[in-house]
Amino acid sequence: MKNKRNVLYSLMITLAGVSYFPVQAQQKNGTQDTNETKNVSSSHSPNSIVRAIKQDRKGNIWLTSGEGVFKYDGKSFTNITSKVSSARFFAVLEDRKGNFWFATIGSGVYYYNGKSFHNFTTKDGLASDRVGNIYEDKTGNIWFGTENGASRYNGKSFRNFKMNDSAPATQADSVHVSAYQHPLPKDSWMHNDVNAIIEDKTGKLWFGTRGYISVYDGKTFTTITNKDGKAFANVRSILEDKKGNIWIGGSDGLWRYNGNTFTNFTQKFVGYVYEDKKGNIWTSSESGNGQGWALSRYDGKSLSDKKTIVTEIINKPMIFGILEGNDGNIWFGANGLYRYDGKTITDFKSEEGRKH
């Protein structure tokens, strides 16, 4: 039953935009620099699925969606990419210099310095134009998780890494119903479809893929297995918490690794993992009542107890990025942008915001 549920949610994600059939995304600037044109502003958030949410150093909220990249300044939403590309945007990063990077499915990545854009694609050395996540390491390199491995950009050029020597995904490839019910073939293209990247406190890089987790020590890639010797499949999110524990979310549920042992907190599918300032762990996951996805909070004070306190805040057909804002509110993406203040949930798709 667990495998069927995991496959169902994997397919839901695929249908929502991570399928392996080419997307004919129109881009207006190719790999040229493009001067910013007049952006589109509105009082409401996107009406499509919000994939990622970040807050910049000035306090603005940035979100990615199928309608573009939006910036919310606390009063209005501005579509930053409306005149640049019609691609689906999946991830956003503000680097240490204050510049922004946007990942798309089909059009590579966009660099934005606040005035103009530059588009990087496979023509510039990017491993694939289908990019799902972005990460900046401790030395300032920018990493991109693509469907054909990870790309590292040092400010001048790209270097590409593959977790496996398998061939890239083709138009005929897809995720079959039985994909995660058995060990994946060693040469499966899914081992190079990177969903998550982090650098741990020791300097090792963790890559969560549609296949397994690989840890890179600068020389070799090692597949990570749980306490039963089973590899983690279809990993969607990896987090290192304030204590140095590694959290893993995916088809095998939610796991914590303390450097020696693995602890499982749920076997339900987990799509996103986030730690707030109090040490609580937030997830988007399969709902306990079977009603789509849930935004859940794992009480940080009970994580060391035998019985962890878990609270489901709300159910939605799908829930993606999670962010704790500077004001302590929890922001999350679903079909639009939502904010949770500890008591009520505000839906930003309407002019005034609807209370739940």
pLDDT at 176: 47
Of 8-12, 35-39, 106-110, 132-136, which gets the smallest average pLDDT?
Answer: 8-12
The whole-model pTM stands at: 0.86
Residue 102 pLDDT class (50, 70, 90 cuts): very high
Q: How far apart are CA 281 and CA 310, in angstroms?
A: 9
pLDDT single digits (tens) 228-237: 889 999 999 9
Query: Which three-class secondary structure string do you get for 109-143?
Result: EEEECCCEEEEECHHHCCCCCEEEEEEECCCCCEE
Q: Name the residue ranges covered by the structural domains of the chain.
A: 1-20+169-323
The answer on pLDDT for 4 being more than 80 is no
Residue 38 pLDDT class (50, 70, 90 cuts): low
pLDDT single digits (tens) 44-53: 788 899 999 9
pLDDT single digits (tens) 302-328: 998 778 999 999 999 999 999 999 999
Q: How far apart are CA 152 and CA 166, in angstroms?
A: 19
Q: Mark 289-309 as b/e (b = at least 16 C-beta within 10 Å).
A: eeeebbbbbbebeebeeeebe
pLDDT at 349: 83
Residue 177 pLDDT class (50, 70, 90 cuts): very low
User: Which element (helix H / strand E) includes 8?
Assistant: helix 2-13
Cross-strand partners of 237: 249
Q: How far apart are CA 46 and CA 284, in angstroms?
A: 20
Q: How far apart are CA 226 and CA 176, in angstroms?
A: 24
pLDDT single digits (tens) 277-286: 999 999 999 9
The answer on pLDDT for 97 being more than 80 is yes
Q: How far apart are CA 141 and CA 134, in angstroms?
A: 11
Q: How far apart are CA 337 and CA 177, in angstroms?
A: 31
pLDDT at 30: 38
Angular region, 7: left φ>0, alpha ψ -120 to 50, beta rest: alpha
Length of the chain, in residues: 356
| pLDDT > 70 in the chain, percent | 82
Token pair 């293209």 is found at: 189
Burial of 44 (C-beta count, 10 Å sphere; 0-12/13-18/19+): middle
The answer on pLDDT for 352 being more than 60 is no
User: Residues 279, 241: contact at Cβ < 8 Å?
Assistant: yes
CA angle 326, 331, 335 (to 5 degrees): 155
